[in-house]
């Protein structure tokens, strides 16, 4: 199906603009005065409230909606709050997608996640492999909500000729990420653990899992740029991956981070803790054909992230920066 409204757009509503990905998107689009960013904090607009979302979209009339919102977290939080993960993510996606259609916004960018691919999957993973096997159980409620979001987009496109696309980013890291150990993904949690061990002069750090799993780590600002390229150029109905083009073993990542923060002790692996999927490496050939290529390699991205952590992590500065939008 061909899409109607790719190409030119000005007014962008970033849902979740104070979050990790939303903040990177806001930074990215704010650099170019051709764009006008619309935003609302959670206190101003609860995205699980259907009526409120519709009223907001009807009033603001964006050209494009970017759904950078969600209930997001690591293995522990997913396991503790499975109902919140499925319910809140389903509600936010459904309200934004249905609301955009109902109020006449034809272009929307929704986010999937690498965890929506089957746990055991040919690598690198391509979108035709989605829903061909069982997904990883540790974050199943979250992944099912994300798959529903993807299907909502394609269904509205088919029935209503909207132009809603789903981008599937790999494991993102960068400035503005959460370093709260309850919620953090692998990169921020390793940075914080090694930094604190180094500060306390510890001789050993114990990390969860065997360290053998492989992931595709992408700097968050690179995703923001990919989103602009997709919104301008992509009109396919197939979801599109955005990955770094390289798969890195968690052990290798831990060594890189330990060296970067100056931790010289031993790393122990607690193999009683789960590895998750053995590998999640995204094929990014389609987005690369559109002219996107990641600008930040893992080493320099980690340095930028650590610099941000040292300066901000305890002060919630990112929220203050983005709250002023």
Ligand X SMILES: NC(=O)c1ccc[n+]([C@@H]2O[C@H](COP(=O)([O-])OP(=O)(O)OC[C@H]3O[C@@H](n4cnc5c(N)ncnc54)[C@H](OP(=O)(O)O)[C@@H]3O)[C@@H](O)[C@H]2O)c1
Q: Which residues belong to the active site?
A: 142
* Closer to ligand X by Cβ: residue 3 or 168: 168
Site membership for ligand X, residue 121 (CB under 6 A): no
What one-character-per-residue DSSP string does 45-62 give? --TT-HHHHHHHHHHH--
Q: What does the chain come to in residues?
A: 325
Among 5, 48, 50, 151, binds ligand X (CB under 6 A): 48
Site residues for ligand X, 76-115, by CB under 6 A, read 88, 111, 113
Give the nearest residue (CB) to ligand X. Answer: 19
* Closer to ligand X by Cβ: residue 168 or 197: 168
* Shortest Å, Cβ 72 to ligand X: 4
- Assigned token pair, 83: 């109902």
Number of other residues whose CB lies within 10 A of the CB of residue 249: 15
Q: Distance of CA 111 to CAs 1, 9, 153, 160, 234, Å?
A: 20, 19, 10, 20, 14
What are the start-end ranges of the E strands in 244-306? Answer: 248-249, 266-270, 279-280
Among 21, 100, 213, 257, binds ligand X (CB under 6 A): 21
Nearest CA to 308 out of 87, 68, 24 is that of: 24
Site membership for ligand X, residue 70 (CB under 6 A): yes
| Contact predicate 160/144, CB 8 Å | no
Q: Which stretch binds ligand X (CB under 6 A): 16-24, 231-239, 262-270, 306-314?
A: 16-24
Among 10, 42, 102, 232, binds ligand X (CB under 6 A): 42
Q: Which stretch binds ligand X (CB under 6 A): 63-71, 133-141, 260-268, 281-289?
A: 63-71
| Contact predicate 229/292, CB 8 Å | yes
Contact string 295-314 vs ligand X (x = CB under 6 A): --------------------
Site membership for ligand X, residue 22 (CB under 6 A): yes
* Distance, CA of 147 to CA of 152 (rounded, Å): 9
Among 16, 124, 211, 294, binds ligand X (CB under 6 A): 16
* Distance, CA of 107 to CA of 180 (rounded, Å): 34
- Assigned token pair, 318: 């990112």
Site residues for ligand X, 209-268, by CB under 6 A, read none
Site membership for ligand X, residue 321 (CB under 6 A): no
Contact string 156-195 vs ligand X (x = CB under 6 A): -------------x-xx------------x----------
* Closer to ligand X by Cβ: residue 25 or 205: 25
Q: Distance of CA 93 to CAs 15, 99, 142, 150, 278, Å?
A: 10, 10, 12, 9, 28
Contacts with ligand X by CB under 6 A lie at 16, 18-22, 42, 46-48, 68-72, 88, 111, 113, 169, 171-172, 185
């Amino acid at each position: 199906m061909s899409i109607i409204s790719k190409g030119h757009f000005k007014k962008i509503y970033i849902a979740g603009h104070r979050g990790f990905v939303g903040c990177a998107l806001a930074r990215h689009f704010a650099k170019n005065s051709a764009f006008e960013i619309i935003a609302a904090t959670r206190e101003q607009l609860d995205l699980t409230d259907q009526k409120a979302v519709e009223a907001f979209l009807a009033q603001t009339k964006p050209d494009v909606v970017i759904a950078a919102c969600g209930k997001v977290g690591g293995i522990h939080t997913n396991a503790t709050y499975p109902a919140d993960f499925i319910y809140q993510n389903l509600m936010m996606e459904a309200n934004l997608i249905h609301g955009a259609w109902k109020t006449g916004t034809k272009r929307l960018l929704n986010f999937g996640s690498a965890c929506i691919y089957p746990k055991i999957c040919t690598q690198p993973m391509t979108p035709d492999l989605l829903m061909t096997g069982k997904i990883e159980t540790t974050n199943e409620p979250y992944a099912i909500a994300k798959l529903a979001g993807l299907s909502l987009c394609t269904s509205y496109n088919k029935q209503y000729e909207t132009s809603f696309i789903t981008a599937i980013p790999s494991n993102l890291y960068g400035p503005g990420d959460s370093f709260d150990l309850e919620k953090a993904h692998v990169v921020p949690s390793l940075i914080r653990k090694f930094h604190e061990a180094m500060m306390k002069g510890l001789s050993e750090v114990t990390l969860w899992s065997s360290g053998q799993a492989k992931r595709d780590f992408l700097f968050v600002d690179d995703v923001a740029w990919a989103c602009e390229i997709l919104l301008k150029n992509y009109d396919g109905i197939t979801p599109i991956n955005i990955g770094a083009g390289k798969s890195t073993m968690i052990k290798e990542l831990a060594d890189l981070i330990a060296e970067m923060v100056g931790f010289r002790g031993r790393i122990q692996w607690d193999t009683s803790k789960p590895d998750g999927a053995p590998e999640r490496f995204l094929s990014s050939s389609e987005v690369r054909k559109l002219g996107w290529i990641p600008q930040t390699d893992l080493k320099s991205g980690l340095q930028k992230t650590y610099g941000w952590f040292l300066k901000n992590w305890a002060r919630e500065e990112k929220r203050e920066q983005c709250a002023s939008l």
